[in-house]
Amino acid sequence: MTPNDRYRLWRERAGAESGPAAAMTEEEIAAAFDGLISFGTAGLRAVMGPGSARMNVHTVLLTARALAKAIPERPETFSGTGVCICYDSRRNSRLFAETCAAAMAEAGFPVLFFEDLRPTPEISFAVRFYGCAAGINITASHNPREYNGLKVYGSDGGQLVPAPAAAVAAHMDEEDLFLPPPALTFRQALEEGRIRLLGKETDEAFLSRVLETAEPCRADLSGFRIVYTPFHGTGAKVIPEALRRMGADRVFCVEEQMTPDGDFPTVDFPNPEYRESFRLAEELADRVGADWIIGSDPDADRVAVEYRTGEGTFEHPSFQAVGSVLFEWYARRLKLAGCLPDRPVLMKSIVTGRLAGEAARAMGFSCRETFTGFKYITAEKDRLEKAGEGRVIFSFEESYGCMAGDYCRDKDAVGASVLLCCMAAELAERGRTLGDAIRDLYGKYGYCAEKTVSITCAGPGAARRIARVMQDLRTEPPAEAAGRRVLQWEDMLTGTAGGPEADRETPSGLKGEDVLRYRLEDGCGILLRPSGTEPKLRIYLSALCPQEESGRVLAELEQWGRALIPDP
């Protein structure tokens, strides 16, 4: 069926949603009806609007019904009772969440439904706390305002890994996109007790675990001035309260960004990764005399910080550096408190830099590496702990996310905010900054320049163009990149490795994800990974070189990567 065929069918059968489709251009039709929206290990994520490839009540309902069929088929993934449902501040999030709740109630599942928006780590916690079979979270995390999404959690509180995700996708392919809505409405199911609301009691249970985890690292936060922004998202619900309960009495919130708003009116992108998103926070910090700023993305799984330098300006460090420093500080504080178990483990993703791994090994930790995404990190955490191979103390990845403790199984900006503020206050007490701590770590383990580049591929067939680039590189591995010889390549889809001096391909560590990694001469590295949620190719660059040369070296590597996808 062509996009135009699907478009005509949509116009005939989509009911109230058929109206907006009438004004679509040919280009919009080609993109919005280019097959069925993809359900993967990140669930759904797409631009909202009419279309089989878009986020709307039809595709959301289709996904919920597919999940309802998959749950009893996969007890190893969905082993509890009922489904927990949460949502964030984006447009249509409440509508999509109620649509899922009605579908699950119709299928016979007891539903626990958060009465209002909540952070992503809290639903991960709630699934485990209440013994649910699954969780659904309506969020597009840090994506632009046009997007929304649907994440699915298993009974372990982690997002789905490939096998159960494929089971849900298979049921989506079997169903008719235009089946009638549930006969039982959300309000009726609520009145009949099939849906139960969650509120303050769950918040209290979640916050108590956050603070319990941070207790061995408690610092004197009284008088320490903190500026916080949730970028119009869910962090406003719990992060200021968590900091106050930890003793912070000088928390200044960016009031313009405290109100939940899916249009994100004060920022171009609701992503703490971008320095420009912190403009209002910096202005507030200057007014109140704060040297420390923290910001969480709309679903509060990502967090970024800024600190005031000696020159009075604010620095926005990468999370490669921040996460590494936080890990070393957290591990050291646990050791001083006598809380470190035998065989402690640091867990990180393949795109997270070497600094944290070097620090872990120096402190007697083992360092485990997984594919990108906390679904893999938490699955490996559970596997190795059940096998008695160690205890994961801290997990993080470069995309501004980390997890400490055992209370949830996803990136957690709530717990991270508490730990980061305690660390910053302790540094300030000694007259030091986060920048000093980062430089100390480089002094111990060597400087490594790192950069992430995202190349957006626009127009119809964008994802296929990216896939073609990856396939071409597999068919003919490059002998050089950015003027440097390729010493070794690793294909993580096939689990093989090779190089110009290798007689044959050899098995490598990880297998099953569309990732290519190249080790180049001069200590440089390039990793390529298509985004699972957007038509983007993510390129991760690294260079072991003197800091003064890093800008030039990274620019050369980036130029090579950008040339992979020419304009259509």
Mean pLDDT of 497-519: 85
Tell how far CA 262 is from the center of its chain. 18
Picking from 198, 233, 261, the residue at the C-terminal end of a domain is 198
Q: What does the pLDDT read at residue 415?
A: 98
Picking from 167, 198, 229, the residue at the C-terminal end of a domain is 198
Within-domain flag for 107:
yes
DSSP secondary structure letter of residue 269: S
**Rounded distance, CA 33 to CA 26, Å?**
10
Mean pLDDT of 142-171: 95
Q: Same structural domain for residues 440 and 467?
A: no
**Rounded distance, CA 378 to CA 394, Å?**
11
Percent of the chain past pLDDT 90, that is, above it, reads 85
**Rounded distance, CA 491 to CA 470, Å?**
10
DSSP 334-401: HHHTT-PPSSEEEEEETTS-HHHHHHHHHTT-EEEEE-SSHHHHHHHHHHHHHTTS-EEEEEEETTTE
Q: Same structural domain for residues 35 and 157?
A: yes
Q: What does the pLDDT read at residue 338?
A: 95
Within-domain flag for 61:
yes
Q: Could you count the other beta carbons within 10 Å of the beta carbon of residue 180?
A: 8
233: phi then psi, degrees, rounded to nearest 5 = -120, -160
How many residues appear in the chain?
568
Q: How confident is the model at residue 568 (pLDDT cuts 50, 70, 90)?
A: low
In 116-273, the DSSP E strands lie at 134-138, 147-153, 195-198, 226-229, 251-253
Q: Same structural domain for residues 49 and 172?
A: yes
Q: Could you count the other beta carbons within 10 Å of the beta carbon of residue 122?
A: 31
pLDDT (tens digit, 9 = 90+) per residue, 470-503?
999 999 999 999 999 999 999 999 999 998 877 6
Q: Same structural domain for residues 289 and 307?
A: yes
Catalytic position from the list 93, 124, 141, 399:
141
**Rounded distance, CA 403 to CA 168, Å?**
27
- What's the structural domain count of the chain? 4
Selection from 113, 116, 46 nearest residue 84 by Cα: 113
Tell me the CATH number at 126.
3.40.120.10
Query: Which ranges constitute the DSSP H helices of 216-310?
Result: 239-245, 279-288
Q: Are 394 and 349 in contact (CB under 8 A)?
A: no
Q: Does residue 358 have a pLDDT over 80?
A: yes
Q: Is 176 left (phi over 0), alpha (psi -120 to 50) or beta?
A: beta
Q: Does residue 407 have a pLDDT over 60?
A: yes
Alpha-carbon torsion 134, 368, 371, 393, what sign? positive
Q: What does the pLDDT read at residue 460?
A: 72
Average pLDDT, the chain: 94
Q: Same structural domain for residues 101 and 36?
A: yes
Amino acid at 83: V
pLDDT (tens digit, 9 = 90+) per residue, 81-134?
999 999 999 999 999 999 999 999 999 999 999 999 999 999 999 999 999 999
Within-domain flag for 277:
yes
Tell me the CATH number at 487.
3.30.310.50
What's the token pair of residue 203? 């918040």
Q: What does the pLDDT read at residue 243?
A: 98
Within-domain flag for 567:
no
Q: Could you list the residue range(s) of the whole structural domain that residue 256 is in?
A: 204-315
Q: Does residue 247 have a pLDDT over 60?
A: yes
Within-domain flag for 212:
yes
What's the token pair of residue 264? 């994100």
The H or E element that residue 517 is part of is strand 516-520
Q: Same structural domain for residues 414 and 454?
A: no
Mean pLDDT of 522-531: 92
**Rounded distance, CA 331 to CA 325, Å?**
10
- 230-267 b/e (C-beta count within 10 Å ≥ 16 → b): bbbbbbbbbbbebbeebbbeebbbbeebbebbbebebb
Q: How confident is the model at residue 354 (pLDDT cuts 50, 70, 90)?
A: confident
Percent of the chain past pLDDT 70, that is, above it, reads 99
Picking from 315, 334, 355, the residue at the C-terminal end of a domain is 315
Q: Are 337 and 325 in contact (CB under 8 A)?
A: no
Selection from 63, 49, 232, 43 nearest residue 146 by Cα: 49
**Rounded distance, CA 343 to CA 345, Å?**
6
Selection from 147, 83, 145, 151 nearest residue 119 by Cα: 151
**Rounded distance, CA 362 to CA 342, Å?**
15
Higher pLDDT, 403 or 565: 403
Q: Same structural domain for residues 396 and 539?
A: no
Active site residue 141: yes
Q: Same structural domain for residues 335 and 434?
A: yes
Q: Same structural domain for residues 458 and 512?
A: yes
Within-domain flag for 568:
no
Q: What does the pLDDT read at residue 41?
A: 78
Within-domain flag for 295:
yes
Mean pLDDT of 414-423: 98
Q: Same structural domain for residues 523 and 405?
A: no
Q: Same structural domain for residues 193 and 217?
A: no
Q: What does the pLDDT read at residue 503?
A: 64
pTM, rounded to two decimals: 0.92
Q: Same structural domain for residues 284 and 419?
A: no
Query: What Rg value do the Cα atoms of the chain yield, rounded?
Result: 24
Residue 347, judged by CB atoms within 10 A of its CB (0-12, 13-18, 19+), counts as buried
